[in-house]
Amino acid sequence: MQITESTHTAHVLTADQFTPEGMEMLFTRADEFQELDSTMEGRRHMAELHLGRRIVTMFYQPSTRTRISFEMGAAALGIGCPSTENAGEFSSAAKGESIEDSTRVLNMYRPDAIIMRHPESGSAKRAAAVSMVPIINAGDGTNEHPTQALLDMYTIKREHGTLEGLSIVLGGDLKRGRTVKSLARLASKYAGNHITFVSTPELRMDRDVTDALERTGTTYAETDQVEDALKGADVVYWTRLQKEYSNGNGTGPVSGGFILDNETLAHLPDSGVIMHPLPRVDEIHVEVDEDHRARYFEQAGNGMYVRMALLDQIFETDGSSVDW
């Protein structure tokens, strides 16, 4: 086993780098981990798989699910994982250190991968440019959140048995929400999906995402009519207002029309699945938690297995490029 710098490092920076075949590989492995995790024997087996590896998580923005699922997943695979959960405040960034310098320094401790979340769009790419070990983008500003989108697709696959020919409704803060951007990009890799974007005009999806959909021939519509959008949908994926990017001149309160409650969801077919990357604030009413179509907590749980599969594949190739 070689632990040297690689010119073809298995960075995970954007949803665009994944193919349906690559995702299938990941999802199969995530299924296996899910199965192994259900017995102590399976757990002991997994804990041997990557013994001696170590990763580090650097989060410059709050996180519950992403960081904990990476860290729990790493522990399950025998990978050591120290972390800085509030790097913006408690790391040298607070003293003015650049992303590049922090990344260079972390590299000196020879981690096998660096998991990074940062408020600036493009920050993961900047880190990758100076890193000899894989950088995994755990959310860069309002740009992308590829590992979230992978677990979202995995959840959809488990629920519907396919990732093709689906009617997917993405709603809420589409302009600043990074999860919906990565998810739309991944959904566009499969044939026959139709995406309906639901938002106020100010929070519309970025044009570079809709342009990407057009390039792949993925059809889409944009509307502010929630109930109409839900009719015939296979998946409704809701998001919160990203107030942290408002700079004090916020886009106003969530209007009633953008709250999913039992009444609105009466328009969603029985087979429709209700998803949310979480955290939820008030855009999905708590009464919906009892709805048999609600999957947001299972979705979060799936995240650990998908992230384990991702780490597993990166370490299978010793951190050099993976064919996703």
The residue (of 65 and 185) whose beta carbon lies closer to ligand NCD is 65
- Closest by alpha carbon to 9, among 103, 148, 92? 103
Reduced to 3 states (helix: H, G, I; strand: E, B; else coil), residue 78 is coil
The residue (of 178 and 194) whose beta carbon lies closer to ligand NCD is 178
The residue (of 194 and 276) whose beta carbon lies closer to ligand NCD is 276
Find the shortest distance in angstroms from Cβ 278 to ligand NCD.
Answer: 5
**Share in percent of the chain as helix, strand, coil (round to 5):** 45, 15, 40
From the list 53, 65, 178, 295, the catalytic residue is: 65
Contact residues toward ligand NCD (CB under 6 A) are 65-66, 139, 145, 148, 178-179, 239-240, 277-279
From the list 11, 53, 117, 175, the catalytic residue is: 117
Find the shortest distance in angstroms from Cβ 321 to ligand NCD.
Answer: 25
Q: What residue has token string 């839900």?
A: 230
Q: What residue has token string 């798989």?
A: 49
Would you tell me how many other CB atoms lie within 10 Å of the CB of residue 154? Answer: 23
The residue (of 149 and 168) whose beta carbon lies closer to ligand NCD is 149
Q: What residue has token string 């209007």?
A: 255
d(CA 226, CA 252): 18
Q: Facing residues of 171 across strands?
A: 198, 238
Active site residue 145: yes
- Give me the residue whose beta carbon is nearest to ligand NCD: 277
Find the shortest distance in angstroms from Cβ 176 to ligand NCD.
Answer: 9
Find the shortest distance in angstroms from Cβ 277 to ligand NCD.
Answer: 4
Active site residue 66: yes
Structure tokens at 6: 């690689």
* Stated length of the chain: 324
223: left (phi over 0), alpha (psi -120 to 50) or beta: beta
The residue (of 111 and 139) whose beta carbon lies closer to ligand NCD is 139
Find the shortest distance in angstroms from Cβ 179 to ligand NCD.
Answer: 5
Annotated catalytic residues are 65-66, 95, 117, 145
